[in-house]
Amino acid sequence: MKKVITYGTFDLFHYGHLKILERAKSFGDYLIVAVSSDEFNDIKGKKCTYPFEHRAEIVKAIKFVDEVIREDAWEQKTEDIKKHKIDVFVMGNDWKGKFDFLKDFCRVEYLPRTPNISTTEIKENIQNLHRA
């Protein structure tokens, strides 16, 4: 069985999230998704609309996802790849090159982002609607 892993915050789950999970699953038989914890998002300077538990449940409900784990630190990726015997690591191409060091452990794939959609843009649009 070929195992794939990807990471993300998955706040305000949208079509772009769905498409990257679908494409990630196409690289193997079993997809693990690591959802960033609230504490880790604080370290990254990200403010989420929904708490970790809600975001993790939403991701778990997606048919392409076989398992959800918690992401608490940048360094966790190497440990997760070894622990779960990962064959393919997948991230959006906005991270291109940043995880090439993982090629020592598995195949690394950077996928193009879905055009015209991002959580940041959605949040900005909501804020602008409230200001109008």
Catalytic residue status for 46 = yes
Distance separating alpha carbons of residues 132 and 130, to the nearest angstrom: 6
Q: Which two tokens stand for residue 91?
A: 């991230």
- Among 2, 44, 47, 82, the active-site one is 44
Which candidate in 3, 25, 46, 47 is catalytic?
46
Residue 63 a catalytic site member: no
CA distances from 7 to 31, 50, 124, 127, 132 (A): 11, 17, 23, 26, 35
User: Which residues are part of the catalytic machinery?
Assistant: 44, 46
